[in-house]
């Protein structure tokens, strides 16, 4: 995760997932997507997703860590 120092050192899982944007709210940064028949709601800084729109094909890169 670029711009997040120390994140990779504690990363326990990393996953890349192709998705289709179904809705994007530029004010809140909330993006609804579908992937493999499932729906997800993800959040980005509004400036990072300002140009996303319904129908766009994207790849989500997701990971998790435990404290």
Length of the chain (residues): 67
Is 3 among the domain residues?
A: no
Is 5 among the domain residues?
A: no
Strand partners, 15: 62
Is 29 among the domain residues?
A: yes
Is 40 among the domain residues?
A: yes
- CA 40 to chain centroid, in Å, comes to 9
pLDDT tens series, the chain, 67 aa? 444 555 556 777 888 999 999 999 999 999 999 999 999 999 999 999 999 999 999 999 988 888 8
Give the domain range for residue 44.
19-53
Is 24 among the domain residues?
A: yes
Can you tell me the distance from the alpha carbon of 27 to that of 59, in angstroms, rounded to the nearest whole number? 21
The total number of structural domains in the chain stands at 1
| Other Cβ atoms closer than 10 A to 47 | 9
How confident is the model at residue 66, as a pLDDT?
82
């Amino acid at each position: 995760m670029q711009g997040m120092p120390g994140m990779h050192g504690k990363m326990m899982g990393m996953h890349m997932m192709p998705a289709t944007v179904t809705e994007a709210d530029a004010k809140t940064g909330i993006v609804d997507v579908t992937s493999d028949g499932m729906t997800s709601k993800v959040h980005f800084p509004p400036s990072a997703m300002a140009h996303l729109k319904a129908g766009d094909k994207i790849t989500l890169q997701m990971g998790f860590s435990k404290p």
